[in-house]
Structure 1
Amino acid sequence: MVEQSLQFPVKIDLKFPLPDGRMLVQGPLTYNTDGLATQHNCEFIKDPRFAAAYAFGMTDGPAGRHLEWRVHMAIWVAVQAAQLEGDFIECGVNTGIVSGAVMTYLDFAKRADRTYYLLDTFAGIPEEQITDSERKLGVAGMNAKYQGGDSLFAMVQRKFARWPNAKLIRGRVPDTLAEVSAQQFAFASIDMNVVEPEIAAAEWLWPKLSPGGFVLLDDYGWAPHIHQKRAWDVFAKQKGIEILSLPTGQGLWMKPR
C-alpha cells in the first residue's frame, strides 16, 4: 500500500449551497473556540467595559480557556435582570468566572440593595449526586479539573472580597439553599453539571423568581450533559415555559410576567 502525502493547505473545491441546501461557515472566522465557530461580528470582545469584566472573571480561572461569548451572554442577561426587583444567585461558582464578570460589569458594590449569592461545594461534583447514566458519559471525570477544597475556597473569598454584598455559601446544593435568606430573585446562573442539584435548585427558585426574571443554564446544550437538558425540558413543560437553546451551549429561560 503506497501512502500518499498531502500538501498543505489542502484546497477543497466546494460549491454553496450544498446539495442539501446547507451553507457551511466560511472563513475568515472571527471566533473559533469553546465549541463555537462563526464569521459573525464579535466586536463586543474589544469593548473596554466588557474586556475589564471578562479579565476579572478569568482571574485564577483555567489557563488557555476562552469563554468570551458565554460570558457575553451572561452579562447581557444580567443587565436585563438588573432592571427587575430581586437579588442575584449563582449555583456552581468554581473560580467565579461568570459571577466575577457580571459583578464587575454591573459595578455591583454600588447596588447596595441587592445581594449576589454564590453557592458551590468548592470541591467538585458530589459523587453521590452523579447518576449511573451521567457517569457513563464521563461526568465524574470532570472533577479532575477542580482545584478543590480549602485552597479554591480561599481564592474565591479573596476574589470576591471587594464586594460587601457578595455572599459565599460553601456546601452541597440543595442543602445550602436554606442559608439563602433572599425571597426574590431577578437573575440566576446554574452550572452544577448534574441533574439532581440543578432541578432541586430550580424548584426552590421558581416561586422566588421575579416575573420576567432570568435563569441562565451553562450546560444545557453540551453533549455530556444531555441528561440535564432533558430534565430541564421536563421542568419547562411542567411550568409552561420555553428554554432558548443558545449556540454557546447555554440555555436561557424567563419566568412569565
Structure 2
Amino acid sequence: MMIPEAHEDIPEADAEDLKILKRVKPFTLTSNANLWATIQAVKHVEARNIPGDIVELGVWRGGQSMTAALTMKRLGTGRRLWLFDTFAGMPEPGEHDFKAATGESATKVWNETQDGKGFSDWCCASLEDVQANIGSTAHADVRYVQGMVEDTLKEAANLPETISILRLDTDWYESTKAELEILYPRLSPGGVLIIDDYGSWGGAKKAVDEYFAGKPIFLNRIDHTARLMIKDL
C-alpha cells in the first residue's frame, strides 16, 4: 500500500505547512494527519491568544515539537517548549498496558527489546539527538526534562505554570495517568489536549477514560491512534 503524500492526505495544507511536514518526517513516527493536528493546534492557540507553554511528554526524536517550533517561527511567535522523556527508550510497561487491536501484552514486546537496564531500544533517542534536532529549528526557549514522568512531574521546577498545548505520547497507563492528574489542570481554557496513543495502547485509553469519566468531553479522532480535544472555556 502506498503512503499518501502530505498534499494528498491534507488538502488544506498550504505550501509552508507542507515544507514543515516534509522537514520533520525523519524525526517522528506519527502520521501526516497527526503532525497537521499540531500545526493546527499552534495556529489555534496563537489566533485566540490562549496563554501557556507547549508541553510534550514522550518525544522520540523530537519531530512533533519541531513541528510546533517551526509553526511558531512561521507565525512570528515563541512560546516555551517543554520536552519530557527518558531519552533512554521505553520504560517497562505495567499490567494495564496492551495493544488495543490485539490484546497482546506490551510487556512481551518490551522484553524483546529491553537493554537490561530497565529500558529498551524501543523508541530510543538520546537527549543529545533530540537537542540537535530541536536546535535545528532555532527555537530558543526549550526545557528538557529527563526521567520517568511519574517521578519528574513531582518536582515543582519541572511544572509549567500554564499550558496552551498538552501532548501526551508516553503510551503506558501509569505515565498517562500522572500526566493528566498533574498537568491537565494547568491547561488553559481553550487549550488543546492531544493523546497520541488512545487508539493504539489500552493503558493510555484506560487512563484517559478514567480521568474524564462522567465529564462531557468530545475526543476528536485525528487518525487511527491519536485523539484531540479543546478544554472548555
* TM-score of the aligned structures, taking structure 1 as reference length: 0.72
Distance 1:49 1:115 in 2: 22
Q: Tell which deviates more after alignment, 48-57 or 98-107.
A: 48-57
Give SS of 2:165's match.
strand
Does structure 2 retain, via aligned residues, the 8 Å contact 1:109–1:163? no
Does structure 2 retain, via aligned residues, the 8 Å contact 1:86–1:210? yes
- Partner residue of 2:206? 230
1:182 pairs with one of 160, 172, 180: 160
The one-character-per-residue Cα deviations of 1:98-138 (angstroms, maximum 9, x if unpaired) are 111121122179434x21101111112221xx113426724
- Partner residue of 2:59? 93
- Partner residue of 2:36? 72
2:191 pairs with one of 198, 201, 213: 213
- Partner residue of 2:140? 164
Higher Cα Rg, which structure:
1
Q: Does 1:137 align with 2:104?
A: yes
Q: Does 1:153 align with 2:121?
A: no
Distance 2:30 2:222 in 1: 17
Q: CA deviation at 1:174?
A: 2.5
Tell me, which stretches of 5 or more residues in structure 1 are unaligned? 1-30
Amino acid paired to 1:116: L
Q: Does 1:105 align with 2:60?
A: no
The one-character-per-residue Cα deviations of 1:197-220 (angstroms, maximum 9, x if unpaired) are 111111111221111111101111
Query: Taking CA–CA contacts closer than 8 Å with sequence separation of 6 or more, which of the two structures ends up with the larger relative contact order?
Result: 2
Distance 1:198 1:185 in 2: 16
Give SS of 1:234's match.
helix
Amino acid paired to 1:184: T
- Partner residue of 1:119? 84
Q: Aligned pair count?
A: 210
Question: 1:233/1:147 Cα in 2 relative to 1: closer, same or farther (>3 Å)?
Answer: closer
Does structure 2 retain, via aligned residues, the 8 Å contact 1:221–1:245? no
Q: Give the fraction of aligned pairs with identical amino acids, expressed as a percent.
A: 22
Give SS of 2:212's match.
helix
Tell me, which stretches of 5 or more residues in structure 2 are unaligned? 111-119
Q: CA deviation at 1:239?
A: 4.5
Question: 1:56/1:240 Cα in 2 relative to 1: closer, same or farther (>3 Å)?
Answer: same
